Structure 1
């Protein structure tokens, strides 16, 4: 486990999955991150690569070959190596090997960089194609936040999600675990979205952001503690398990989606997939502010 610390926050990161496991306030010792209670969800903040969500039949085809891959890909279950570390920054890396090629036949390098700045954590991921063919990829983050934060008098239903810019967003519905992009529905976020467990009775609420910089804040009028995630991504998921009444919610920036209900199985034409040319790299990222 790696530790980053400044005068405000202490952050812990597990090399397994390069997963953020803890963010605590140095003065109050308040824990912001979900602590992976297996009764509800046994992860903290996994990275999703090289797919987001589920594939139909947990498989796909590329260049005439069929490959098996389970939900959210394999990076979250692989150990990353350390590139460098300081008191407030950490860089971890995962590179293609024989094990990954069984599921994803591309010569990738995934580098994750954490930087602790004041009350915020900046997260950047660089995806490199080190091969000789175009590489289809998706990426996502899945951080879970404790509810309540701080005062025990607050409850899950006392919290709200405030989105800026305030507008009506297009929401991608899910049919089972699959995206139904042809039937997007409006979600009015000109006012805060009140949290309730039944909000997730059809899984995540998926907002279409169209790569516009967006801030999603999780807070309650009952106290001053909360988190705000800022990102410019195609999509953002808001999720908590249902019908379990779990004491956490996830704010998830996504550069990808689960297979569409009309999916053909071809990874290169998968809904919301990205393509990376041979020898090229791309960077995605977001920032979480803790208050």
Structure 2
């Protein structure tokens, strides 16, 4: 996605990818989420290199189908991808627009007839903050449904420190500030159905992300440059832990698919 614009108001909700802050809009994170130690992992005794968040966000997808309100795109394994990720995969992304929302569905298939496949996948949509000319970044807050505390996973440098989880106060709204992101992303454990929203008491316009059974969710902005956006990122996967072994099959948060099996998940963006 590169744009989510309200036809009546003209408001652009999706971050427009200014490279002075962050040059992307809403990339898909696959086949890993986050960063690996030394940008490497091992599988069946061989070492592979993958940059942060994997390669799908920089690939050209093929159009499988499209109509006025829906589009399905596909990425499949090639000899080039297998040099970095040795699995025979298919990744479908389906976008469906209805009234004031867009639903994004990820479908991952293990096409191999014998080998189990390991992967992570995640969303990374950025949203404009502020949404109107009459409000500022600090006028907005994060709202969480259900209103309950969630475990917060701290970062130690570039990696997650799962041994020192704390309680995230997501039972009340959280005012947006640059200080929130001074150590990079806020990462929560998010079982069940969740809705994370960016809203303000000074405008009726807001944006919400709803997702089910994504085990982790990141919230991120660039604090040092006072970037005018915030990302809400539901993930099936996470960066390497501080004590990660480097083996793909032992990676925290990694998903697996038996031969010829499929995985599907979706999230929804709603704008007002």
> Hey, what's the Cα distance between the residues in 1 that align with 2:216 and 2:15?
22
> Hey, what's the Cα distance between the residues in 1 that align with 2:153 and 2:257?
25
> Hey, what's the Cα distance between the residues in 1 that align with 2:168 and 2:157?
20
- What residue is the counterpart of 1:235 in the other structure? 216
1:158-169 to 2 correspondence within 5 Å?
158-169=139-150
Deviation at 1:114, TM superposition (A): 0.4
Deviation at 1:40, TM superposition (A): 0.2
Q: Secondary structure at the match of 2:240?
A: coil
TM-superposition CA deviations, 1:256-281 (whole Å, max 9, x none)? 00000000100011011011101000
Deviation at 1:85, TM superposition (A): 0.1
1:5-154 to 2 correspondence within 5 Å?
20-131=1-112, 132-150=114-132, 152-154=133-135
> Hey, what's the Cα distance between the residues in 2 that align with 1:181 and 1:284?
24
Deviation at 1:242, TM superposition (A): 2.3
TM-score for the superposition, normalised by structure 2: 0.98
Unaligned runs of 5+ in 2: none
Q: Secondary structure at the match of 1:225?
A: strand
TM-superposition CA deviations, 1:11-70 (whole Å, max 9, x none)? xxxxxxxxx100111112111110110100000000000000000000000000000000
Deviation at 1:243, TM superposition (A): 1.2
> Hey, what's the Cα distance between the residues in 2 that align with 1:70 and 1:264?
17
Of 199, 202, 226, 1:222 maps to 202
Q: Secondary structure at the match of 1:157?
A: helix
> Hey, what's the Cα distance between the residues in 2 that align with 1:183 and 1:135?
30
Q: Secondary structure at the match of 1:23?
A: coil
Q: Secondary structure at the match of 1:198?
A: helix
Q: Secondary structure at the match of 1:61?
A: strand
Aligned-pair Cα RMSD in Å: 0.6
